[in-house]
Structure 1
Amino acid sequence: MATKEEESGATDGGYSTPDTAVQEKHGLHDDGAAPEPEYAEGFRLAAVMGTIFLSTLLAALDIGIVATAIPGITDDFHRLDDVGWYGSACFLLVGSSSPMWGKLYKYFSAQLVYLTSVVIFLAGSILAAAAPNSAALIVGRALQGWGCSGTLGGSVLMISYVAEPKKRPMLIGLWMSVFMFSTIIGPLIGGAFTSEVTWRWCFWINLPVGGPVLALVVLFFKVPKHIKPASATWVEILRQLDLPGFTLLLCSLICFILALQWGGQTKPWSDGSVIATLVLWVALTIAFFVVEWIQGEYAMVPLALLKPRLVWTNAMYGWIANLANFQVLFYLPIYFQSIHGQSAIASGVNSLPFMAFFAAGSMLSGFLIGKTRFLQPYEFASGVLATVGAALLYTLDVDSSKARYIGPQVIFGIGIGLGNQVPMTALQSFSKPEHIAPTTGVMLMCNSISGAYFVTAAQSIFANYMLKELASNAPNIDTVRVLTTGASEISHVFQGADLAAVHKAYMVGIKDVIAFSLAGAAFTVLLSLAIPFKKLPDPAAAPTKIEQKDEKNGATEFGV
Structure 2
Amino acid sequence: MPKIQPEGEVPPASVPPQGKADRKPRSTGVVMLALMITMLLAMLDNMIVGTAMPTIVGDLGGLNHLSWVVTAYTLATAASTPIWGKLGDMYGRKGIFLTSIVIFLVGSALSGLAQSMGQLIGFRALQGLGAGGLVVGVMAIIGDLVPPRERGKYQGMMAAVMGVAMIGGPLAGGTLTDHLGWRWIFYINLPLGVIALTAVTAVLHLPKKRTEARIDYTGAGLLTAGITALVLITTWGGTEYDWVSAQILGLGVVAVASLVAFLYVERRAAEPVLPLHIFRSRNFSVITFVGFLVGFVMFGSLTFLPLYQQTVQGASATNSGLLLLPMLLTMLLVSLVVGRVTTETGKYRMFPIVGGVLLTAGMVLLGTMDTGTSRLTTGIYMAVLGAGMGFLMQLTMLIAQNSVEMKDMGVGSSSATLFRTLGGSFGVAILGVLFTHQVQDTMVEKAGDKGKAITSGGAQLEPSQLDKLPAGIRDAYAHAVSDGTHQVFLWGSLAAAVAFAASWFIKELPLRGAAPKAEDGGAAPVERAPVAETV
- Give me the TM-score of the superposition, normalised by structure 1: 0.83
Alpha carbons 2:230, 2:252 under 8 Å: kept: no
Q: How does 1:271-350 map to 2 (within 5 A)?
A: 271-293=245-267, 295-350=268-323
Q: How does 1:44-443 map to 2 (within 5 A)?
A: 44-223=27-206, 227-229=207-209, 231-233=210-212, 236-239=213-216, 242-260=219-237, 263=238, 265-293=239-267, 295-443=268-416
Alpha carbons 1:92, 1:253 under 8 Å: kept: no
Alpha carbons 1:255, 1:278 under 8 Å: kept: no
Residue 461 of structure 1 and its aligned partner are, at CA, apart by: 2.5
Q: 1:440 to 1:38 in 2, by over 3 A?
A: farther
Alpha carbons 1:324, 1:517 under 8 Å: kept: yes
Specify the code of the residue in structure 1 equivalent to 2:368: T
Residue 395 of structure 1 and its aligned partner are, at CA, apart by: 1.1
Residue 491 of structure 1 and its aligned partner are, at CA, apart by: 3.3
Deviation per CA, 1:210-255, whole angstroms, max 9, x where unpaired?
22222122122222xxx552x423xx34227833223322432244
1:42 to 13, 22, 25: 25
Structure-1 separation of matches of 2:72 and 2:9 = 40
User: Which residue does the alignment assign to 1:526?
Assistant: 501
Q: Secondary structure at the match of 1:517?
A: helix
Q: Does 1:516 align with 2:506?
A: no
Structure-2 separation of matches of 1:171 and 1:237 = 34
1:476 to 443, 446, 450: 450
Alpha carbons 1:97, 1:146 under 8 Å: kept: yes
Q: How does 1:535-546 map to 2 (within 5 A)?
A: 535-537=510-512, 539=514
Alpha carbons 1:393, 1:405 under 8 Å: kept: yes
1:502 to 467, 477, 491: 477
Structure-2 separation of matches of 1:332 and 1:221 = 40
Structure-1 separation of matches of 2:263 and 2:482 = 39
Deviation per CA, 1:337-362, whole angstroms, max 9, x where unpaired?
22223222211111011110100111
Structure-1 separation of matches of 2:225 and 2:265 = 9
Q: Secondary structure at the match of 1:121?
A: helix
Residue 482 of structure 1 and its aligned partner are, at CA, apart by: 6.2
Q: 1:74 to 1:461 in 2, by over 3 A?
A: farther
Q: Secondary structure at the match of 1:136?
A: helix
Q: Secondary structure at the match of 2:99?
A: helix
Residue 320 of structure 1 and its aligned partner are, at CA, apart by: 1.1
Identity across the alignment (%): 26
Q: 1:486 to 1:142 in 2, by over 3 A?
A: farther
Alpha carbons 1:241, 1:300 under 8 Å: kept: no
Structure-1 separation of matches of 2:219 and 2:208 = 22
Gaps of 5+ in 1: 1-29, 546-560
Q: 1:497 to 1:292 in 2, by over 3 A?
A: farther
How many residue pairs end up in the alignment?
Answer: 508
Deviation per CA, 1:417-467, whole angstroms, max 9, x where unpaired?
012111211232343321212211211111222222222223232223322
Q: 1:497 to 1:171 in 2, by over 3 A?
A: same
Alpha carbons 2:147, 2:512 under 8 Å: kept: no
Q: 1:41 to 1:430 in 2, by over 3 A?
A: farther
Deviation per CA, 1:487-516, whole angstroms, max 9, x where unpaired?
443432323111112222222222222223
Alpha carbons 1:85, 1:138 under 8 Å: kept: yes
Structure-2 separation of matches of 1:167 and 1:272 = 51
Q: Secondary structure at the match of 1:494?
A: coil
Structure-1 separation of matches of 2:244 and 2:514 = 58
Gaps of 5+ in 2: 12-22, 527-535
Q: Secondary structure at the match of 1:526?
A: helix
Alpha carbons 2:51, 2:174 under 8 Å: kept: yes
Q: Secondary structure at the match of 1:66?
A: helix
Q: 1:60 to 1:178 in 2, by over 3 A?
A: same
Structure-1 separation of matches of 2:32 and 2:354 = 28
Structure-2 separation of matches of 1:483 and 1:421 = 35
Residue 198 of structure 1 and its aligned partner are, at CA, apart by: 2.7
Specify the code of the residue in structure 1 equivalent to 2:6: A
Structure-1 separation of matches of 2:495 and 2:157 = 24
